Amino acid sequence: MNTHAEDWFELRDAWRAYAACRGMDTDLFYPEGRGSTLRAREQIAKNICSSCPVAQQCREASTALPERYGIWGGLTEAERGWSRR
């Protein structure tokens, strides 16, 4: 049986069921590399996010968590204000 807190988390994250990336390898959204290799890998994730009906909710979740790494809602760490140090 779910507790009230578990219900809240399920409702808060219900948007994930509609994500374009659902069921994809999460490594796509945590690209590694440098320079043009990194940018090309980031673009693959961003292309998936560009057609996502819940990209805004994804971006908001990355801020609320806060999620420092990866592509969330089509934004890289730097675009969300995080440094790659």
Among residues 18, 17, 15, 26, which one has the least CA distance to residue 69? Answer: 26
Distance CA 63, CA 41 (A): 22
Asked if residue 12 belongs to a known ligand binding site, the reply is no
Token pair 């934004």 is at which residue? Answer: 75
Asked if residue 5 belongs to a known ligand binding site, the reply is no
Asked if residue 19 belongs to a known ligand binding site, the reply is no
Asked if residue 49 belongs to a known ligand binding site, the reply is yes
Question: Residues annotated in the binding site for [4Fe-4S] cluster, as ranges?
Answer: 21, 49, 52, 58
